[in-house]
Amino acid sequence: MIVIPSKEKLKSLSNDKLIDAVKNYRQYGYEVATRDLCLSILYERGYNNELLEKSGNLRNNNYQSAQDIFNSFNKNSKLAILMLATFIITYTLFTLYISVSVSNILIILIVCLGILGIYIFFLVRSFIDQNQFYKIIGKGDVSESVWVFLLIGVLFYTFYYFYLRKQMKEQMQNIN
């Protein structure tokens, strides 16, 4: 359970510390109630939402953008993994249970290529999200991860995703 600091303890902080707590409360693991308490102290000291907004101190826009992109990365990666699993299952079931004829092979080919196309679509979207995430946090281009993916193969993306997700979560804590 996260303990909310007392109003007296927060009042002893400087304006800069309070503003930092308001702006980066998520990185510090504070509750919204702590952020609101800091805001109320700043209001008592003559600050207002307009002043804090104009100075870029009401919210951490970089963090919010990174969070949105991280969520999109998770969604697209999970859909890519789901499509990969669907492709493997579909291909296996079709090849095991359908008699081999030209028409059945054509159906198998069309269905599997469609699923594979959807998989590649979501995979590319997850790489785009990953690249945008690293640009926001100032790490630049991550095109080397595409090469890692190509080297380790399509089947290992599931494991690579868990590694990337953990790494991205850790880096979000350092966004200012």
Counting every residue written for the chain, the total comes to 176
Q: How far is CA 35 from the centre of its chain?
A: 23
Give residue 3's pLDDT: 59
pLDDT band at residue 166 using 50, 70 and 90 as cut-offs: very high
Q: Which of 56-65, 90-99, 126-135 has the highest mean pLDDT?
A: 126-135
Task: Supply the pLDDT for residue 71.
Answer: 96
Q: How far is CA 124 from the centre of its chain?
A: 15
What does the pLDDT look like over 2-31, one tens digit per residue?
556 777 888 888 888 888 888 888 888 788
Q: What is the mean pLDDT of the chain?
A: 83
Higher pLDDT, 123 or 156: 123
Angle among Cα 61, 66, 72 to the nearest 5 degrees reads 130
pLDDT score for 122: 92
Question: What is the model's pLDDT at position 72?
Answer: 97
Question: Of all residues in the chain, what percent carry a pLDDT higher than 90?
Answer: 17
pTM of the full structure? 0.75
Sequence-ordered list of residues with C-beta below 8 angstroms from that of 129, at least 6 positions apart, any chain: 69, 70, 72, 73, 76
pLDDT of residue 69: 95
What is the rounded end-to-end Cα distance, in angstroms, of the chain? 25
| 119-128, long-range: CB < 8 A, 24+ apart | 119/80, 119/83, 119/84, 119/87, 122/76, 122/77, 122/79, 122/80, 122/83, 123/76, 123/77, 123/80, 123/157, 125/72, 125/76, 125/80, 126/73, 126/76, 126/77, 126/80, 126/161
- pLDDT tier for residue 82 given thresholds of 50, 70 and 90: very high
pLDDT at 138: 81
pLDDT of residue 1: 46
